Structure 1
Amino acid sequence: MGDLTDRVVLHGKPPYALMFLHGGPGAGGELAHLAEDISQIKGVIEPRLYSLSIKEQIDYLRDIARTGQQKVVLLGYSWGAWLGIMLAAAYSQYISKLILVSCPPFGQAEANGIADIRLGRLNTEQKSRLTALNRLLAEADNTAVADGAMAEIGELFLQADTYSSLNLPDTAAECSYRTYKSVWQEALALRQGNKFAGYLALLKCPVVAIHGDYDSHPAKPVFEYLGDNLTGFSSVLLRRCGHCPWHEQYARQEFMAVLKQEI
């Protein structure tokens, strides 16, 4: 696979009143199935972002949002939740609501436990494979090898983060390790510097956070941080649900119902 570039996939028919931001960073396409499902109700803009800085990604999203005839409801998943917060803070005139799905914790202390939770849910064979993949990433001398290793690590993490999988068809995510490495370093610096309180203070739209109780990213500190820094905030905790609610056997129906209500 060659170098990936920012682009947009449209689902459904205009007007495109929803924009879905994927995680990773650099995991473009992972929201394709969800976007396709929701597009039966409203048209969805699904950006696939591979720029190497947060600013470049936000500028690209701004240019998409400003071309619309109306404000968009912005859904950010995982890392995309943070990106959505920053976009809505900078360009509130384009965003009518912000939906944060499986948002990462804003404090470093809470984030430190994620790796241990995931490792505790993997079997011996999976742990060995994860070690090998991390070594491969560290030593990879070409883009294709690194991107492939990142994609497989993502699959292992999804298994660890899932309470009870529906075994839906895989989304053909196009992973860019180069994007991940560059953008995530910036994002970590923002968390370590407690910069998100400043972004949240600039939000002018309602914010809804949806989170699974089995997610390796703990829900409680995320909800508390958002509640302490926002007015007009609401939260939904999904039971028997991991990091990817629409893949969950016991939580998908409630998640989809909540999402349809919020959009």
Structure 2
Amino acid sequence: MNLRKYGEKAYKVAVIHGGPGAAGSVKPICEELSKFCGILEPLQTEMSVEGQLIELKGILEENTEEPIILIGHSWGAMLVYMFAAKYNHLVKKVILIASGSIEEKYYKDLQENRENKLTEDEKIELKRLQQIFSNPLGHDMNRVFAKFGALMEKLDSYAPLEVSNDDSLYNYEIFTKVWPEAHALRKSGSMYEMGKDIKCEVVAIHGDYDSHPAYGIKASLEKIIPNFKFYKLENCGHSPWTESYAKDEFYRILKDEIL
């Protein structure tokens, strides 16, 4: 299964999860937005950046009849950014939620931000998980990957609500295959250059407490996207739909942008 559908046809919006390999993580967004329109939730299964782009193209062509609004979270935001550059004819608008940086120079800021938030116990746990990543034999790596993701989410949250998460769908192998390739695209400058081919409107939504630097994504995109809009959410971390103080404003912005 690489697709879940919400609401009724016609499907006007597709919401793309993060990770790579964190399928199911945007289910709450899909459920909320399906009150207003039909929603597609692609669950990426391919083991390369190009494979995921082609997989998404196939899903959209099979399930939509006109250009669609693409919403991506974290890695999913980076993916839909690249998708809009390559397949302009399929995209009406792109909405990037808590996007990872598309320029390598901002990556060190993410690392420093996270390191500064770690407690001593979290440093121990992070080191333990990193040791397992280095020697995965005998471990359920999908579960380890989910635990790592939960720790990163904790660091990047300001005032989180209890929100169910489909972590049973997390896939460590997809992460290990796709992320190094994506990182190389960013490091080479190719990812940034792709943005020059985007023709549609691009909207970025970013929390002020997110370790992924808001100023980085704003500075990068406003240089290359002619039709660009940026929303900064106060008292908000990496997943706005889970944040006590930002959730309502987040959904208000999304609804305004898609309706």
- TM tier relative to shorter chain: over 0.9
Stretches of structure 1 that go unaligned for 5 or more consecutive residues are 1-5
Q: So what's the TM-score if we normalise by structure 2? A: 0.95
Q: Deviations over 1:15-38 (max 9, x none)?
A: 111111111001000001111111
- SS of match in other structure, 1:168: coil
Q: Quote the sequence identity (%).
A: 32
The question of whether the paired residues in 1 share the 8 Å contact of 2:161 and 2:244 is answered with yes
Equivalent position amino acid for 2:140 in 1 = V
Query: Residue 49 of structure 1 corresponds to which residue in structure 2?
Result: 44
Equivalent position amino acid for 1:86 in 2 = M
Map of 1:54-93 to 2, 5 A cutoff?
Answer: 54-67=49-62, 68-93=64-89
2:128 to 116, 127, 132: 132
Query: Residue 242 of structure 1 corresponds to which residue in structure 2?
Result: 237
CA RMSD of aligned residues (A): 1.3
Query: Residue 18 of structure 1 corresponds to which residue in structure 2?
Result: 13
Q: Deviations over 1:87-110 (max 9, x none)?
A: 111111111000011011122231
Stretches of structure 2 that go unaligned for 5 or more consecutive residues are none
Q: Which moved more, 1:110-119 or 1:234-243?
A: 110-119
Equivalenced residues, count: 257
Q: Deviations over 1:62-109 (max 9, x none)?
A: 111122122110001101111101111111111100001101112223
For residue 219 of structure 1, report the CA deviation from its aligned partner: 0.5
For residue 244 of structure 1, report the CA deviation from its aligned partner: 0.4
Query: Residue 102 of structure 2 corresponds to which residue in structure 1?
Result: 106
Q: Give me the whole-angstrom Cα distance separating, in 2, the residues matched to 1:108 and 1:59.
A: 25
1:37 to 10, 32, 38: 32
**CA distance 1:36–1:47, shift in 2 (3 Å):** same
Q: Give me the whole-angstrom Cα distance separating, in 2, the residues matched to 1:259 and 1:182.
A: 31
Query: Residue 220 of structure 2 corresponds to which residue in structure 1?
Result: 225
Map of 1:113-192 to 2, 5 A cutoff?
Answer: 113-141=109-137, 145-172=140-167, 174-192=169-187
The question of whether the paired residues in 2 share the 8 Å contact of 1:33 and 1:171 is answered with no
Q: Deviations over 1:243-262 (max 9, x none)?
A: 00000011111100000000
2:251 to 240, 253, 256: 256
The question of whether the paired residues in 2 share the 8 Å contact of 1:161 and 1:242 is answered with yes
**CA distance 1:173–1:260, shift in 2 (3 Å):** farther
For residue 115 of structure 1, report the CA deviation from its aligned partner: 2.5
Equivalent position amino acid for 2:31 in 1 = E
The question of whether the paired residues in 1 share the 8 Å contact of 2:22 and 2:167 is answered with no
Q: So what's the TM-score if we normalise by structure 1? A: 0.94
